[in-house]
Structures are given as structure tokens and as C-alpha cells.
């Protein structure tokens, strides 16, 4: 018998899982998502989340509370009489009453190999740390931050030049069938749980704006990982002088290279920049207000002399 599911998610990352659950024949009785946010160039238009748009396409009731702490919201959740809640990048903390508000509990799709990278930014942090692999996990949620027992997992390799955006898109496609598999076992009563290890716990703290400015004093390998871990959003950035004025440039892609020079010094005509040790070659970047461009496209429109210093 199909399960009655409450789905809780907000960004594009959550959409494939919501769609897969519905296509598997489960009854999605309600979708919880973050309220519409201001968008557009002037921030005047309220834009629904990707999950809200998908829920409306599926004809499922959408709820967007700003908090789940109130008794009225908790009672409304319990009144759905759901078998389980599925949570994928929702963005709100779930009080105990919500965690216990369904017959079989709340199940989270998390983008790391727990207990490594618990928390808000597991995809970015894995790349920034130079990890060679990550994965998707389905865990039963408890009161802690990503501390619940794990039901299923899938390991995923990380390419040496892969960006956070690319890994994000691969993981969301891995997570959808994994959650459907978990729900099938949950429905059959065969889903086994394994407690997380107390060793190897690392927290994936939210990306701070101060981390996004390029520090050319870092070793090339560390800087390359930071650039790709922050791409495409929020993006690593630096400043260079163009046309006699300082301009901010977002660096979207880089490659490890060879060469020496002072940190931040352009050492050839291909946008290779010296680091604290080694060098990186900028392969894709974006000027303020412009579109992403390859290094070759950028250099056709901007004179960049060898010896230029990026800050």
C-alpha cells in the first residue's frame, strides 16, 4: 500500500526527489516549503520556490509557514495523518513535535557521507576540502543536526576539476531514487538503520562572505579547490585594474598550472596566476553585470598584460 507522505523541501535540489516519490505511487498529502522570496532586478516580485512550483504542477497542497514552533502549525501537521515526512534541503528546523508527527518518522536526504559534513553546506565544503568522494544518505531524523541513524547511502566520486554546481546536479539525481528505495523498504518493514560513528564528525558550516575573496597567498591546490567549491554561487572573486579602474571579477573555473611569481601576479598571456606556491590558470570568469566567459573570450575584450597583479 502506498505511503502518505509529507514532503518538505525548497530549492531545485529537492525537486527530483519530490517528483520521484509521486511517480513511485506514494500519496503526497502536502508539501512544506519556504515562502516566496523577493526576486528580479529590483527585488519587487515574490518568486515561489522550485519545490512550490513542482508541487503546484503535481496538484499538491502547498504550505509555507515561517516557523513550525507554534502549536497551531504542529496541530495542522499532525492532522495530515501522514505515514512519514521526507525532508530534502527544507531550510527550517523541525521541532520534536514535527519529527514525531507522523507514524513512521521524518527521513532526510543529505548530500554527504555522514558523519562527515553535517550541516548547511556539505557539497561546497567537500570540494573546498579537496575530498575525492562524497555521497547521498537517507537518515532518520532526530533532534540533533544531521545526527540520526543512516538507512541507505550511495558513494559518488568528485572529479579534480568538478565545481559545486556540477556536483550538486549529480547528487540530486542520485538522491531521488535512493529516497524512493528507502520508502519502499520502510513500507515493507525491512528498512534497517545504522547509528552514525562518533569518529570523523565534521560540520559543513554555512559559507561566509569573507571566504569568497580570493587569497592568492594560498597554495595553488587549496585555491583551486576553493574556486570550484564556490562555483557558481556565491563565487570566488578578486579585483583587477581594467581601463584604469578596479573591477571585481568572479572566477568560475580554474586549472592547476605551473609557473612562479608573486601571489596574484599574472605570469603569462593565458590568465595563469601565481599563488603562494604553484599557480592556477583561470579558465572561466565573469565581470560584474556580465555573463560567464571563457578566458579567451575575456581576453579578447580586456587587455591583460603579463605582470598584472590581481588582488
- Cα–Cα distances in angstroms (integers) from residue 193 to residues 87, 153, 197, in the given order: 17, 11, 13
HSE toward the beta carbon, residue 205, CA cutoff 13 A = 3
Q: Is 113 marked within a binding site?
A: yes
Q: Is 14 marked within a binding site?
A: no
Q: Is 94 marked within a binding site?
A: no
**CB-neighbour burial class of residue 236 (10 A; exposed 0-12, middle 13-18, buried 19+):** buried
Q: Is 38 marked within a binding site?
A: no
- Cα–Cα distances in angstroms (integers) from residue 52 to residues 7, 28, 32, in the given order: 11, 13, 8
Cα dihedral 31, 33, 39, 44, rounded to 10, equals: 90
Per the DSSP assignment, residues forming a β-bridge with 255 are 281
Classified as helix, coil or strand, 292 is coil
Whether the CB-CB separation of 246 and 266 falls below 8 Å is answered with: no
Per the DSSP assignment, residues forming a β-bridge with 285 are 251, 293
Q: Which of 32, 94, 100, 101 is nearest to 68 (CA)?
A: 94
Residues marked as binding?
112-115
The binding site for (6S)-5,6,7,8-tetrahydrofolate consists of 112-115
Amino acid at each position: 500500500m502506498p505511503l502518505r507522505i509529507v514532503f518538505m523541501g525548497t530549492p531545485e535540489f529537492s525537486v527530483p526527489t519530490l517528483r520521484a516519490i509521486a511517480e513511485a505511487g506514494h500519496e503526497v498529502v502536502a508539501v512544506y516549503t519556504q515562502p516566496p522570496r523577493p526576486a528580479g532586478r529590483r527585488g519587487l516580485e515574490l518568486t515561489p520556490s522550485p519545490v512550490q512550483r513542482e508541487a503546484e504542477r503535481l496538484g499538491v497542497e502547498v504550505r509555507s509557514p515561517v516557523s513550525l514552533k507554534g502549536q497551531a502549525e504542529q496541530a495542522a501537521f499532525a492532522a495530515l495523518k501522514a505515514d512519514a515526512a521526507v525532508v530534502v534541503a527544507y531550510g527550517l528546523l523541525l521541532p520534536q513535535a514535527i519529527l514525531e508527527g507522523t507514524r513512521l518518522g521524518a527521513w532526510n536526504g543529505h548530500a554527504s557521507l555522514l558523519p562527515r559534513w553535517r550541516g548547511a553546506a556539505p557539497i561546497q565544503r567537500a570540494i573546498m576540502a579537496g575530498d575525492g568522494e562524497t555521497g547521498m544518505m537517507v537518515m532518520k531524523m532526530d533532534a540533533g543536526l544531521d545526527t540520526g541513524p543512516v538507512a541507505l547511502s550511495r558513494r559518488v566520486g568528485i572529479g579534480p576539476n568538478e565545481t559545486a554546481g556540477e556536483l550538486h546536479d549529480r547528487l540530486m539525481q542520485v538522491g531521488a531514487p535512493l529516497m524512493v528505495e528507502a520508502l519502499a523498504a520502510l513500507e515493507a518493514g525491512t528498512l534497517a538503520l545504522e547509528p552514525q560513528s562518533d569518529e570523523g564528525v565534521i560540520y559543513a558550516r554555512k559559507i561566509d562572505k569573507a571566504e569568497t575573496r580570493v587569497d592568492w597567498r594560498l597554495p595553488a591546490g587549496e585555491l583551486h579547490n576553493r574556486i570550484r567549491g564556490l562555483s557558481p554561487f556565491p563565487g570566488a572573486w578578486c579585483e583587477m585594474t581594467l581601463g584604469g579602474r578596479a573591477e571585481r571579477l568572479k572566477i568560475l573555473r580554474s586549472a592547476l598550472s605551473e609557473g612562479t611569481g608573486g601571489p596574484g601576479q599574472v605570469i603569462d598571456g593565458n590568465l595563469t596566476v601565481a599563488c603562494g606556491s604553484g599557480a592556477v590558470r583561470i579558465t572561466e570568469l565573469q565581470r560584474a553585470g556580465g555573463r560567464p566567459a571563457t578566458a579567451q573570450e575575456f581576453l579578447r575584450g580586456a587587455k591583460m598584460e603579463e605582470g598584472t597583479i590581481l588582488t
